[in-house]
């Protein structure tokens, strides 16, 4: 897999992050086959054992924020979500979505600070760790990004987006292609429809691994 082939699809990857990153308002995560539907389900989340009933005003703000994020009005989303997050740490989905908005406004440190506070309370919230990974990767802190993605797939092994982003980090930025292949394959297993671009990446890595194996045998 060549770096150019990845960079040519960077816009696609950016489109995936906000869409799937608009995660559930409370403590649940998207189901394995439902990552792309997560935005619609976020505002509809009703109860958890930890939070009980979500106030209608909070759910309305979250729904409005989703709409604003979908049209890349990140400033608008920030203005809608900040009052929700100020209520306390009981809405990790709102906090993570706000962090995504901050990132798109180049407010990386604000995003990281918010997620640090959120994940101190909701340590097993995979979408938050996935966003931490993205923030560190964009800042060139690849070791920290790897640790965050690893945390995301550890606390929620069926969280497809974290496998997708982990694979890109390992492949394009760390050059650990065989490990990347595992995460690309896991991502494909979890999404409801085949991602044809990822299928091409998988095929490319597999071919190169096979070529390297044959070359090593000949060298022996």
Interatomic CA distance for residues 7 and 58, integer angstroms: 38
CATH of the domain at 96: 1.25.40.10
Tens digits of pLDDT across the chain (220 residues): 333 334 334 434 433 433 333 444 444 333 222 232 222 122 222 222 234 567 888 989 999 999 999 999 999 999 999 999 999 888 999 999 999 999 999 999 999 999 999 999 999 999 999 999 999 999 999 999 999 999 999 999 999 999 999 999 999 999 999 999 999 999 999 999 999 999 999 999 999 988 878 877 777 7
Interatomic CA distance for residues 25 and 139, integer angstroms: 27
Q: How many domains does the chain have?
A: 1
Interatomic CA distance for residues 154 and 151, integer angstroms: 5
Q: What are phi and psi of 88, to 5 degrees?
A: 140, 180
Interatomic CA distance for residues 80 and 59, integer angstroms: 11
Tokens of 121: 């309370």
Interatomic CA distance for residues 147 and 154, integer angstroms: 10
Interatomic CA distance for residues 217 and 213, integer angstroms: 6
Helix axes 74-85, 92-104, angle to 10 degrees: 150
* pTM score of the predicted model: 0.77
Interatomic CA distance for residues 45 and 54, integer angstroms: 8
Interatomic CA distance for residues 49 and 27, integer angstroms: 9
Domain interval for residue 40: 3-219
């Amino acid at each position: 897999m060549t770096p150019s082939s990845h960079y040519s699809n960077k816009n696609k990857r950016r489109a995936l992050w906000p869409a799937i990153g608009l995660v559930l308002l409370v403590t649940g995560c998207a189901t394995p086959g439902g990552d792309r539907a997560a935005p619609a389900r976020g505002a509809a989340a009703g109860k958890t054992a930890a939070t009980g009933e979500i106030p209608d005003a909070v759910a309305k703000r979250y729904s409005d924020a989703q709409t604003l994020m979908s049209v890349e009005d990140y400033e608008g989303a920030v203005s809608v979500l900040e009052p929700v997050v100020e209520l306390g740490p009981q809405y990790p989905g709102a906090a993570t979505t706000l962090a995504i908005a901050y990132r798109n406004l180049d407010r990386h440190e604000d995003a990281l600070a918010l997620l640090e506070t959120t994940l101190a309370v909701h340590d097993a919230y995979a979408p938050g760790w996935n966003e931490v990974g993205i923030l560190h990767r964009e800042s060139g802190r690849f070791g920290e990004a790897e640790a965050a993605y690893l945390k995301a797939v550890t606390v929620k092994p069926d969280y497809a987006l974290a496998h997708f982003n982990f694979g890109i980090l390992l492949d394009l930025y760390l050059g650990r292609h065989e490990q990347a292949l595992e995460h690309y394959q896991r991502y494909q297993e979890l999404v409801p429809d085949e991602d044809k671009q990822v299928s091409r990446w998988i095929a490319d890595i597999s071919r190169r691994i096979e070529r390297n194996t044959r070359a090593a045998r000949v060298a022996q």
